[in-house]
Amino acid sequence: MRSLRDILKEADKKGVAIGHFNISDLGMLNAIAEVARELNVPVIIGTSEGEREFIETKEAAALVKTLRDEHDQEIFLNADHTHSLEKIKEAVKAGYDAVLFDGGKLPMEENIRQTKEVVEYARSKSEEIIVEGELGYIGSGSTIRKEIPKGAAIKPEDLTTPEEASDFVQATGVDLLAPAVGNIHGMLVRRSLGEGGFAEGYDYPLDTDRIRAVRMAAKVPLVLHGGSGNTDADFLLAIDAGVRIIHISTELRAAWREGMEKSLKEKPEEIAPYKLMGPALDEMKKVVYNRLKLFNRL
């Protein structure tokens, strides 16, 4: 079985991206894993601090390990958006393959200090653990928004610069970098602005020239957070520019909600949860299938 580090090297060589999908229950995990097996592509499962509190850190690791062993599947687990060394230690101890220390809201020097501490700790436990750092605030939470999250880096002067990326990676030793390049968490809902404008439901275009410059300066693979809401064209341009992992969460949750509402409407008397989950799983599988096909250029 190849490690996540090996998978990343291959993705870089092939010019593709690994899909990263957050989960909060077993149904979501099984839906993602099933589609990845069908397409025969690697996949990363993410759990944020809130999601880990809900499903438990050790239990999430055990579930992913079971799928990996039972199906000989290249499925990996990431401790997404972790804000303290203590929580990083919990994930590493549980057997997570990757951890993200999210210091995006911190001043640069403090972000470097804490991220470096995380890298040193992870390296002391295993050289195979992938450590990701975040540079630039892109909002938080997986929601459908009507406005930009307060403080999120959208203006050109607030986005991650190549110089900042280079300094950050050299100072911390991270394996992956998540920059602010026009991406935001959640999805924006807006009306079309006419010719050349934005279609309803899509975020601002990504700054792909900046992505390319940041990748060249950082010299490590880039991670695109807040992928829900970007266009297929933007995704492909971002992959060409050096993005090797793309996070999808809001889009998956919206699909779950749509499927559950359909099921509850069609079966108003049903009370067995597993009998109501079918449409929600189907809708989520559609999202995962389309995203994994696109990211892997299948």
Task: Name the packing angle between helices 108-125 and 85-94 (round to 10°).
Answer: 20
Largest Cα span, the chain: 59
pTM of the model: 0.89
pLDDT at 202 over 70: no
What pLDDT shows up at residue 231? 86
**Count of CB atoms situated within 10 Å of the CB of 287:** 21
229 neighbors 204 (Cβ within 8 angstroms):
no
More confident residue, 49 or 195: 49
Q: What is the pLDDT of residues 21-65, one digit of tens each?
A: 999 999 999 999 999 999 999 999 999 999 999 999 999 999 999
Taking 80 as the threshold, does the pLDDT of residue 85 lie above it? yes
The CATH number assigned to the domain holding 120 equals 3.20.20.70
Is pLDDT above 60 for 93?
Answer: yes
Which residue range is the domain that position 55 belongs to? 4-295
**Which H or E run contains 65?**
helix 57-71
**Regarding predicted confidence, which is higher, 157 or 284?**
284
Share of the chain above pLDDT 70, in %: 86
User: In the chain, what percentage of residues exceed pLDDT 90?
Assistant: 77
Q: Once rounded to an integer, what is the mean pLDDT over residues 177-192?
A: 62
Average pLDDT, the chain: 88
Within 8 A by CB and 6+ apart from 250, the residues are: 142, 143, 144, 185, 186, 187, 228, 229
Question: What pLDDT is recorded for position 152?
Answer: 43
For the residues 63-76, what does the mean pLDDT come to? 97
Q: Judging by beta carbons within 10 Å of its beta carbon (0-12, 13-18, 19+), is residue 197 exposed, middle or buried?
A: exposed
**Domains: count for the chain:** 1
Res. 105 pLDDT band, cuts 50 70 90: confident
Mean pLDDT of 65-81: 97
Q: What is the pLDDT of residue 139?
A: 52
Work out the pLDDT band at 184, boundaries 50, 70, 90.
low
Buried b (16+ CB within 10 A) or exposed e, 73-103: bbbbbbbbbbbeeebbbbbbebbbbbbbbbb
pLDDT (tens digit, 9 = 90+) per residue, 117-127?
Answer: 999 999 999 99
Q: Read off the pLDDT of each residue in 93-105 and give the average, rounded to a whole number.
A: 95
**Residue 155: what pLDDT?**
59
pLDDT at 178 over 90: yes
Q: Long-range contacts for 56-65 (Cβ within 8 Å, ≥24 apart)?
A: 57/90, 57/91, 57/94, 57/96, 58/94, 60/23, 60/94, 61/91, 61/94, 61/95, 61/96, 63/26, 63/29, 64/29, 65/95
Q: In 3D, which of 47, 41, 31, 34 has the Cα closest to residue 74?
A: 41
Residue 293, classified by CB atoms within 10 Å of its CB into exposed (0-12), middle (13-18) or buried (19+), is middle
Q: Are 96 and 131 in contact (CB under 8 A)?
A: no
